[in-house]
Structure formats: structure tokens, C-alpha cells
Structure 1
């Protein structure tokens, strides 16, 4: 029986598997087609990288983006595992050269894009290889209801079954709703009992929602408090990216932009500057980041709201991949929702998909307006359960909860009296006694609820409706013009069987968050020495610093301060290959630091 723990330590430097990894790897080694659903940062790649070393033949990895392939191949090279990729970034001569290496059996992993399967020549090439395992990364792309649906992902599925070597199939994803999970199993013919689902919890992430704030002022203040930390700021449009990047650059921050409007060379240079720690902050559209395995991203700020919870959780999950405490912050405004509505209407999707997109957007809006635990809200969205996290902006909100049952009853009653056929804007206008001519055409001024909340601003009433919707007292239909109706719980409120509490709408200064560097008992000066050494070695080896050692490994090193090779191997993330490559340099740096301290 193969000792997978020993192999894990030798190749990757870890003493034990994370939840779900061992079970998936053992199923793969037994030849069982499997589906693994693990949260971003939970180590999905280990689930095929380790078997690739233990199986005699080749492992084929189907991956959606070029940046992901290069990152993975570079990372494997640092671990002493021979791998390569084939994609459109290579010229014909380089492609032939790499195919020859694969044919000669000199590589253990081959990364390709799903579009490659459209070539009969390429499929013939694969058919001649001893492929033992096919890993489908970002497997949610195979479902038309997945947030990154790729038609080419559906096309290759039948071809896998035709490969002469009859390889084992492993599908992996971090963001699959129950519907998407079912699609993946059906399309790839994976049995339910071979599905390993560890849950979607990211314990090291702290979620925060800031509504209707001065976004630039917030970002500037936050970055000043987190100087030296690497982070990603997502914006919805190229214009927003360019303007925010210019503003932050003029404010003295180390920042670069990334979006499809930049030249390919500029995008590559900016991405590599971020990966190599030459710039601390990347401001980007969602074109950036999928497959970026930079482990020391300490924060992800969404300057605008994404269109789905799946997109949000995947993008937020690019923070803290090394397991250290990190922030995921959403800056929410109603203008974001208007922009998302525009994107949906301008898309070429059919009406069914547009209705689905509107429903997903409503879930995102509900997330921004809920007063329950943010982490728990996300878990429930994915069909998972969990306790309150105790650290998100809702869990730590110290505002007093007040009884708003009467105000809620006014809203719920108005929705019913309007026949449950209108949306938020019309309901809030009726409640505030608006003189809108359209309301007169419906004779709403005759309703007993007309003007019932005339002392409040329409915006405040709209926000109350958003709150009641997010907490499940109001239902909302899908589509471009969503209609409100009262839910079962809402009817209990109307009957006086249930009370509703909401936190007082008083602005509070956000509690100061504990940064990752503060949360671990390490020698900060030694950590900085080791980080500088890592940067020098990264430049010498032409690889991103985090591929040499993660921040978590450096912090463990700074805490343990090993004095010899045996002790160095006890550092998390140090295996035999890394010891041989970098052990002498880091042990020498630790020794010199301690000597200076003794002086």
C-alpha cells in the first residue's frame, strides 16, 4: 500500500492532508472516477498532483486559463515534478518540442485547455499516450448553470471515455451549487458515492460588507492600515479600473491595473509584477485572477458588486490561500445593481438564462443586505450549513437590534394590498405617498397603506424592503422587473405570530481588524529577513516568490527558527526537494540573524 502521507511530505513538505484530500487521492489511486468539491485555497491541485507522481503513466489536466497552467507548471517545477502545458501562447516549434517530451515519457503532467479537444490531430496524439488520470479543474464550467460556463467543457467529456488507456477521471471545483454538482456528475458519469464534498467554509477569511460609503476614501484608508500586504481590488468596468488605479498611484500606493482593454504584453507584465511582489496591489476586472495561485494575498476588495454569489466567493477566495487570516470586503451600492441589470440586458443570452442571471443577482443583493452571519449566508447558498463565524462585519456589529415589527407590517400589508404584482420602487412610492402619475393610474392613493410611511424617505423604505427580502419575509420574482410577494414567514409577522428585529441605522466606526502578521507569534524582523531572501532567490530563479515558500512557511520558519536540516524539515511547506534547493540559504540567514541578536 502506498504511503501517501510520506509522499506528501517528500514532494510538497506538508505533514498531513487537508480535509478531503486523502479520501480523493485514495479513490483516484483505486481507479474510481471522482468529484471533489473543496473550497478555494483548500488544496485541490494536490488531489491530482500527488497521484500523478504515484501513478506510472501520464496525468492530463484540463484547465480553463493559460495563466493557471503556467502557474501550476512553475509550482511543480519547484517541487521537482516534471510538467508542461500546451496552449495558444506557444509557437508551433515549441508545441512540437513539448509533445515530443510527452511522447518520450519525460513528463508526469500535461496541462491543456478544453478547446484542444476540437482538433482530431490532438485527440490522436492523446490516444497514443499512457494516460492514467484525467483531472478536470474548475469543473463547474461544464454546467450551463455554472458561473463560468464553457461550451468546450461539455464537448470533451464524451472523448475522455474514448481514450484507449481508459484513464481514471477526477473533477474538481470550489463553487458548485447542488444543481451544478448534479450536472457535473451526470455529464462526466461520476457516481454519487464517489463525490467528496468537504463544505465551503473558509475559516481564515473575514467577510465584510460596507454599504453606501465613499468607496475611494474607504479603500485609501484601508490600504494605509495594511501597507505591505498584497491585495486584489475588483471593479466592474475598465474605466473604473483605470480611474481607481490612477487615483491610488497618485496617492502613493504600489499598484497596477489589469483588464481586457490593455495590450496582452501590458497585462502579462502587470500580472507578473503582482506575482513577483514588485507591486502590492492589482486593480482588475474579473478577467484577472482565475487560476492565479498567489498564496500571500491578504485582502480582496470588491469595489463593485459581482453578479453572483459564486463569482463573489471564488474571487474573494483568492485571499488567504496560505491559510493565514485575510479579508474579503464588498463595497455595495444600488448603482452596482443598475450596472448589473444593464449587463444582463445587453447579453446575448436567451430569456431563460437572463431570468436565471436576475435570480442570481437578487441573491447577491440579499447577501449585501442581510444582518445574519455573512459566512453562514454563503454556506447556505451552496447547500451547506455552519455556525456563525463570529468575526464578519455582521457578527461583530455592536449596534443595538430594535423591534421593527410594526414598520415591517406596514410594508407587508402594502405589498398585499397592491396585489403582489409590483416591485420595490412602486411599493416604496405608495408607502411614502409619492405623487407619481403612474400610481394615480392604478388608484393606489385610495389604498389604506398609501402614505403610511410618509415621514420617511423613499430610499430608507427601499432599504427596509431589501432587508425584509434578504431575511426571507418577502419573496421576489426573477426577471428584469422583479415583483414582491409576502412569504410564509411574512404572513406570520402580519398575524402577530413573529417579531422582526433590525440593527439601528447608526453609522459605527469599523472595528480594527487583526492582520495576519499580528495573529501569529513570530519574530517580525526575522520574517522580513526571510521574505527579502525569498525575493532574491525568486529573482535568481525567475519564479514568483510564493512558489519558493509561502508566507505561512516563512512565518513557521520565523517561529521555529530551525538550526539544522532535520529541524528545517519540520517547517510546514518544507519537503526534501525544497530542503535541497533552499535549505542552506535559509538556515544561513536564520543563523546570521540570531548571531546579530546575540551581539
Structure 2
């Protein structure tokens, strides 16, 4: 087995314990292994890491992985060491002596992979180190960080084009889970990957169920969702502000859910401890700002929730993609309301960005609003944003319970007329009061109870008017002027609607309903993964053993084995090392390290 393809497959099977490559992995590995540059777009959980780890093992020298995730480098290295790969990292958490030791291992070719942050890479000392060493490849992970149009821009990533100049003969592979056409073009430009081969996998994550609900009482709705569908599961809840993170975590704890906060304003030690607990323990819900999550490899996150509207579809896709990395059913749930739209518009308007950048941000927000308000399949809308044609999925809320649409032209005309009649100087609450005929002190002070539009919408509830207004803003008929107390203003697009020249279809308002599903975990819905009582007992015992083993090794439990591997062991019930070797996720190193213990547990429980 001398060629790259055969050697790569052999490493996949013996080191990582997987029987075959998935999707485009084999093609990518062979291309990079033969010295080619590559840009890889592959969804979270799709196996991006193997696309640079195996070429690094096949080629001479050490593979250099550039990653912004200093807090996770230790876990990444631990996972590689568990399968017998010689790995290390260089970052600011190490002592001078430890750094010197790792540098010696790099220079003498005693490592297979070394992880570095982009800031470290740009130092003269690090450049000298790599120029004095045999480098197998450079892997630029989370490559979307290079794009100023992306959702995780890191200025230091822009400098990484120097790799092409200083190491012209070393292959480079840039990898990301999310990049629209604009972001993709910028990655190619910034990293000088013009001649790189591009590999774009399907963005579809069919195991994730997408659900977006009308926000009434967000935290109460969140509790109802978790207790009905994901009681006892690991999950992530995203909030926009640090204060909301703290308050939501406290709220969940008060309601019996094991929750931890995470945001950039926390003391570093506490933040790191909370992240470590989330990775190492089961059944923890992390409540976080978007500062949390990039690079999180925890495979059994069963749900990701948003209590605030994300800024873009890329951000939403990246965050929801942290659910169900193991391929088992998972949920992406969001509560969304009018205030979310107003707040995101205000953040764009008040930012220091130039007008061109604001326009791009507005376009991305419009696409996000379109996903929220769509009458068709959410997955189709999501995939089409990334340029991938799709058909209705049957596994999102709009497919499972199709929304009712109606001709809302008359209601929209009433709303637009009310905004116009109050001189486009008042915010949503006041306009809705005028429409509904509410004789508030403010309405009477401004004599708006005398207007022809006063009370013309009394037959529609406040919540329904807010739903209509939210959709009208999403359609671009109305804007919110944050310089004038969030007053509503008509756009040019409103004119043909007011004149009756353009019809408007709306999504009918639905009252929030309590979840009726009672399964403890969505993962148990898959019949093919169901275990008999005897198999379940073995699986539970293996999971208990895994927790104890992980604690001894001071690594996350999934670093020892994924649930999917333990489940397969429980089903097959191997009685020899040869039978255990054939199970996905059991490589040679793990077979030697844990094989006898696993066989003993299976024999004891059988």
C-alpha cells in the first residue's frame, strides 16, 4: 500500500477506527496528501478534522493546525493522543520550558500535529521554528474568520496569506462549516488560495429539526420546550446580552435544569471551568452569548435554542450546527418577536461601520428575517441561501404543521395608513393602540383618538398586530428610525401597497402552544437505534465505565468513545478483540487500551 489513497484508508481504519470515508473526505485527503491546496466547506459534524489529520500523518513532517480556539486546544490534543497520534499545541497558556520542549519536538520531527493560534504563528520565533522544521501541511481551521463579511471576523486571520509566500511548497487546507458565496470569495482572496481546489459538501443536516415560534414569554416557552422534548439532555441556549445570559441561566436552575452561564465578561477561570464542565459532564445546558461554541466537538448536544434573533443565516447555521454532531435527532428552536427585529436594526444603524458594510449587514439580516417568516420549508430556505437546491424536508415546523397564509393586503393598508396618520413619529406600541382604539393617555394627548384610523383594527388583537408589523418590517415596507425614539416610517415600497397596486400575503398569527411531546430525548425517536432492555443495560453500564475512565484521564467522556460506538457495542455484544475491532470508532490504540475492559463488561451483562 504505497499510494496516498491506500495509506489514508489504512490510517482511517487502524488509527481512527472508521471503516470508510464519508462524502468527499477521501477525495480531499488524497488531494491534500498529494500536495494540493484546498478550500473545504463541510457542515459541523461532517468530519472536517480528518481532512487534515490524515494527510498530516501520510506526508513527511508535522502538520500545523491554525486555530483561534486556545481554550479547546488541550481537548483536541487529548483526543488525538487517545488514538495514538503524536500531537501538541503552542499557545500563551504554556510556560517557557513547556514551549521550548514542544518546539524541540517540532524541529526533530517527533510530532504528527501541532496546534497554534494565528497570533502565535505571526511571531518571528514561530516563523523561525517552522522554517527550521519539516512541515507536512498548514490547516487553517474556522477559515470564515478571515472574512469581514462573516460572523466571526478575526483581524489576525488576514495576515495568514504570508504562508503562501514563505512556504510555497507546503500544501494549505482552509476549512469552515459556513460560508456564503461572498465569504467564500473573500477566503480565497485573503488566503491566496486562488489555485486551490474547492470542495463544497451538502449543507444539509437532516437530523436537525428546525422550529421558530412567536415570542410571547421567551423564558417560559424555553422551559416548556426543554421539559417536553429534551428533559435531561445536553443543550445550548444563545442570548444576545451578557445580562440575559446570567438571568436565563438562573431561571433554568430555579426550574430544576442544570444550567451554566458563559460570556466574555465573566472571570476567565469561571468561564473556562463552565466550558470544561459542559464538555465533560452529561445533561448540562450552557446559556451563552455567541462567544461560546466555535470548535465545540461535544457530539451529543441534543438541542440549540435562541432566545434572540441571530444577525445572519451564517451565524444561525453555525450555532444550530452544534446540535446532533453524532447524527442522531436534534432540535434547533428559536423564539422570535417584533422587538428582535427592532433591536437588530438599531444595532446596525448605530454601529460605527461604513455605509457599505451596514448595507451588507442589512442584507444578511433580511435573509434571516426571511427564514423566520417563510411560509415554505425552513430547510429549503436555509440551503438555498448557501446556493444548494432542496425539496421540502418533512422535518421542520413549517413542514410538520404548515402555516396558514392569507391575503393581508387590507390589514397592511390599515397599518401603513395609521403610521402615516401619526406623522411617522411614533413607535410600534402607540401605532397599535391607535389601530385598536385604545384611549391611552398618550393617544389622547396627541389627539390621535380623533384620527380616521383610530379603532379601524379593533377586531384584531395586539399580538396579531405585532405579528403583522413584524412581517411588514421584514418585507421592507416599514423601517424603524432609532434616532427618533424607534418611530415607524414608511419606505418607498409601501406606496404601491397603499394604492392597491400590490397584494401582500401574510403568515397567520398562531398563539404559542405548550409542547405536547413527552419523550425525554428526540434521539429515542429513531427506531433503528432503539435498544432492547438487555442491550440498554449494557449501554448504560458502558456509559458509566466511560465516565469513570474519562475522569481518570481528565478528558471529556466522548474523547474515550462516542455514544454511537457504545450503542453499537451494546447491539453486537462482541466476545473477542477481533469482533470489537470491526466496530466503528474502535481504532488499534483504543482496542489495546480499553478492549479487555469492554469485553469484560459485555460478558458480565450478557
Alignment TM-score > 0.5, same fold: yes
Q: CA deviation at 1:456?
A: 3.2
Specify the alignment match of 1:464 in structure 2: 468
Partner Cα separation in structure 2 for residue 136 and residue 383 of structure 1: 23
Query: Quick one: which of 504, 521, 533 aligns to 2:530?
Result: 521
Which of 291, 297, 311 does residue 287 from structure 1 map onto? 291
CA-CA distance at 1:572 after TM superposition: 1.9
CA deviation map 1:126-153 (0-9, x unaligned): 2112112111111111111111111111
Which among 190, 194, 202 is matched to residue 193 of structure 2? Answer: 190
CA distance in 1, matches of 2:559, 2:220: 34
List aligned pairs for 1:129-278, cutoff 5 A.
129-157=133-161, 159-164=162-167, 166-191=169-194, 194-225=197-228, 226-277=230-281
Task: Report 1:304-315 matches (<5 A).
Answer: 304-315=308-319
Mapped partners of 1:524, 1:243: distance in 2 = 37
Shift of 1:292: 1.4
Matched with 1:583 is: 595
CA contact (8 A) 1:369 1:467 kept: yes
Offset at 1:570? 2.5
C-alpha contact 1:130 1:165 (8 A) present in aligned 2: no
State which drifts further: 227-236 or 104-113.
227-236
Kept after mapping to 2: 8 A contact 1:413/1:494: no
1:544-578 CA deviation, whole Å, 9 max, x = no partner? Answer: 00011111212222222222222212222122222
Cα shift at 1:468: 5.6
**CA-CA distance at 1:483 after TM superposition:** 6.6
51 and 485 in structure 1: CA distance in 2 versus 1, 3 angstrom threshold: same
Structure 1 segment 154-553 matched on structure 2, within 5 A: 154-157=158-161, 159-164=162-167, 166-191=169-194, 194-225=197-228, 226-277=230-281, 280-341=284-345, 343-344=347-348, 347-397=351-401, 401=404, 403-404=406-407, 406-407=409-410, 410=413, 425=428, 453=457, 455-457=459-461, 460-467=464-471, 474=476, 500=505, 502-503=507-508, 505-510=510-515, 512=517, 515-519=522-526, 520-522=529-531, 523-553=535-565
Distance (whole Å) between structure 1 residues aligned to residue 205 and residue 477 of structure 2 = 29
- Change in 2 beyond 3 A, CA 1:503/1:19: farther
Distance 1:18 1:475 in 2: 46
Moved more, 83-92 or 118-127: 118-127
Post-superposition CA distance 1:52-105 (Å, at most 9, x none) = 111111211111121232222111111111111111111222111111111111
1:102 matched to 2:109? The reply is no
TM-score (norm 1): 0.87
Count residues with an aligned counterpart: 586
Query: What's the offset of the Cα at 1:267?
Result: 1.4
Paired position in structure 2 for 1:566: 578
1:30-66, CA deviations, whole angstroms, 9 ceiling, x for partnerless residues?
2221111111111111110111111111211111121
State the SS of the aligned residue for 1:463. Answer: helix
How many Å separate the matches in 2 of 1:326 and 1:302? 14
Q: Secondary structure at the match of 1:61?
A: strand
- Three-state SS of the structure 1 residue aligned to 2:213 is strand
Q: Shift of residue 221 of structure 1?
A: 3.0
* Unmatched segments (≥5 aa) in structure 2: none
Residue 39 of structure 1 aligns to a residue whose secondary structure is coil
Partner of 1:71: 75
Counterparts of 2:416 and 2:235 in 1: how far apart (Å)?
46
Shift of 1:123: 1.4
**Which residue does the alignment assign to 1:597?**
none
Deviations 1:227-274 (A, max 9, x none): 331111222222222222223223332222222232211112111111
Shift of 1:154: 0.6
Shift in CA distance, 336/81, structure 1 to aligned 2, threshold 3 Å? same
CA distance in 1, matches of 2:26, 2:415: 51
2:65 paired residue number: 61
Alignment check: 8 A CA contact 2:338 2:467 kept: no
Between the aligned partners of 2:170 and 2:581, the Cα distance in structure 1 is 35
> Distance between the aligned counterparts of 2:389 and 2:560, measured in 1?
36
Inter-CA distance 524–303: structure 2 relative to 1 (3 Å threshold):
farther
* Distance (whole Å) between structure 2 residues aligned to residue 119 and residue 460 of structure 1: 57
Whole-Å separation in 1 of the counterparts to 2:318 and 2:460: 38
Structure 1 residue aligned with 2:95, among 73, 87, 91?
A: 91
Distance 1:387 1:448 in 2: 46
* CA spacing shift, 1:216–1:430, aligned 2, 3 Å: closer
Q: Distance in 1 between matches of 2:359 and 2:117?
A: 30
- The Cα shift of 1:352 comes to 3.3
Among 120, 123, 129, the alignment partner of 2:127 is: 123
Gapped regions of structure 1 (runs ≥ 5): 595-599
Q: Tell me, what secondary structure is at the counterpart of 1:161?
A: helix
C-alpha distance in 1 between matches for 2:435 and 2:491: 16
CA distance in 1 between counterparts of 2:295 and 2:259 reads 20
In the alignment, the residues of structure 2 paired with residue 417 and residue 237 of structure 1 have an alpha-carbon distance, to the nearest angstrom, of: 34
SS at match of 2:260: strand
Q: CA deviation at 1:584?
A: 1.4
Cα distance in 2 between the residues matched to 1:25 and 1:417: 61
* Cα separation, 1, equivalents of 2:555 and 2:393: 36
